[in-house]
Amino acid sequence: MTRMRIHNGRVIDPGQRRDEVIDLVIIDGRVDGYVHPDAEGEFDQEFDATRLTVAPGFVDLHCHLREPGFEDKETVATGSMAAVAGGFTTVCCMPNTNPTLDTANDIAFVLAAGRRAGRARVLPLGTVTRGERGRELSDMAEMAQAGAIGFSDDGQPVWDARMMRLALTQSLSHTKPIVNHCEVPEIADGGVMNEGRVSDLLGLRGQPPAAEEVMVARDIELARLTGGRLHLAHISTARSADLVRRAKRDGLAITAEVTPHHLTMTEDWILGDWESTQLPRTYDTRAKVNPPLRRDEDRRALVAALSEGIIDVIATDHAPHRSIDKECTFEEAAFGISGLETALGSLVGLVDAGAISIQSVIRRLTLEPCRTFELPYGTLAPGAPADIVIFDPNAQWQVAAARLHSKGKNTPLDGHTLRGRVVMTLVDGKVVYERQGR
């Protein structure tokens, strides 16, 4: 029997409505219970978490680990290492690999790779349509049995409304969510960023917010029609949030996620410091992401909707790329931001700005994602697996892209100073990450 104590940390666990300075006791990889910091006891291991925050390990419903097929961008091993360095103990990875995750075998491959890596729990989603081609449904029931925790054609939308209707109908039997990347291709029309002031300035083709909103509305109506399990991936506009708000008011069991970058950045990040300094525009390809960074009005509406609980979950959409995928023209550059390791720091920034509470942020990184995908994690109630993140909410650090654990160094936050940094991450009571040099 291994007994472990995390001493004198501030434990925030929305699943238990707990927020207090207390000692957490772990026995054999599971949470045993809580004791007063002054309590005596015999422990094999003890971590001093004084002035640190202790929370359930974060659960990311949306990331890209690129394996199989794009191992030069990321692997399950490097991606799950980046995950635990960012405080995530469970990551759900998208099936837009090469080949795409279409079969039970593909699912088993990723699960095995995750176990081999031995860091975060790696839970794959399967495709909705074979090869993400949008023509015929994948065998979702078989994949669900093999361990797929949801289905998505992410990277692109399930653009064919009939396919989406069938997928949602099927979800009634396997009960896993259908996760849609909402973007009407004909409206997005090849746009490489948000359509508006900045795209006009830069002469770049924009995709209007309506490209997302039209499909959000379609999917909500299809969920109403079928009763299927719909989860909206990375919504990015104020109107999308409104549509979700109305659907929830109608009692539909839909869920939605938002990324840290859509909560903290705007389209202006592509311009650089042009506005204030008249310096050359940067055309910063690292801020090229899909859905695109929007206006500040949208960003603020997303923060509000998250605060309100209209948006259920914060998910990273971690999308690692090689440097040459970004060191090119904006048009040619790949979409995506490497986000697992900067998520916490970005979100603590929002808390510092008074936009949202730390309890709410943790809830949407733990309890809510587990509810959404029906995962047995996300809380530190006695008996739960000891998936834990310990972080210093006051530690300032400068992002150095080159030192990220992820292979993807593509972050527009490179060089920025963030507050809030992971100190230690445990999965099943085992330390899978400990920050060096503290």
Binding site residues, another protein, CB under 8 A: 189, 195-206, 208, 272-284, 286, 324, 327-332, 414-415
Q: Which of 344, 339, 433 lies closest to 396 in space, CA to CA? A: 344
Scanning the structure block, which residue is given the tokens 């899909």?
290
Question: Count of CB atoms within 10 A of residue 389's CB?
Answer: 26
Shortest Å, Cβ 188 to another protein: 12
State the DSSP code for 126.
B
Cα–Cα separations (whole angstroms), residue 199 to 195, 203, 221, 264, 387: 6, 6, 31, 19, 43
Contact call for residues 106 and 127 (beta carbons, < 8 A): no
Shortest Å, Cβ 181 to another protein: 22
Q: What is the DSSP string of 234-246?
A: S--SHHHHHHHHH
Q: Which residue's CB is nearer to another protein, number 74 or number 195?
A: 195
Measured distance CA(86)–CA(404) in Å, rounded: 10
H helical segments located in 339-395: 343-352, 358-365, 367-372
Shortest Å, Cβ 213 to another protein: 15
Which tokens belong to 35?
């004791």
Q: Which residue's CB is nearer to another protein, number 46 or number 200?
A: 200
Q: Which residue's CB is nearer to another protein, number 28 or number 200?
A: 200
Q: Which residue's CB is nearer to another protein, number 58 or number 159?
A: 159
How many angstroms from the chain centroid is the CA of residue 4?
29
**190-197: which pairs have CB atoms within 8 A and are 24 or more residues apart?**
191/292, 192/288, 192/292, 192/330, 192/331, 192/333, 193/267, 193/270, 193/288, 193/292, 193/293, 193/330, 194/267, 194/292, 194/293, 194/294, 194/295, 196/267, 196/295, 197/267, 197/295
Shortest Å, Cβ 326 to another protein: 8
| 352 belongs to the catalytic site | no
Shortest Å, Cβ 21 to another protein: 41
Q: Which residue's CB is nearer to another protein, number 197 or number 246?
A: 197
For residue 418, what are the contacts with CB-CB under 8 A and spacing of at least 6? 342, 345, 346, 348, 349, 396, 397, 398, 399
Catalytic residue among 106, 298, 317, 387: 317
For residue 421, what are the β-bridge partners?
A: 392
Shortest Å, Cβ 417 to another protein: 15
Shortest Å, Cβ 328 to another protein: 6
Cα–Cα separations (whole angstroms), residue 214 to 202, 206, 363: 26, 16, 29
For residue 11, what are the contacts with CB-CB under 8 A and spacing of at least 6? 18, 19, 20, 21, 22, 24, 34, 53, 54, 55, 380
Shortest Å, Cβ 99 to another protein: 24
Q: Which residue's CB is nearer to another protein, number 129 or number 199?
A: 199
Q: Which residue's CB is nearer to another protein, number 213 or number 219?
A: 213
Q: Which of 310, 214, 314 lies closest to 259 in space, CA to CA? A: 314
Q: Which residue's CB is nearer to another protein, number 277 or number 436?
A: 277
Which residues are the active-site residues? 317
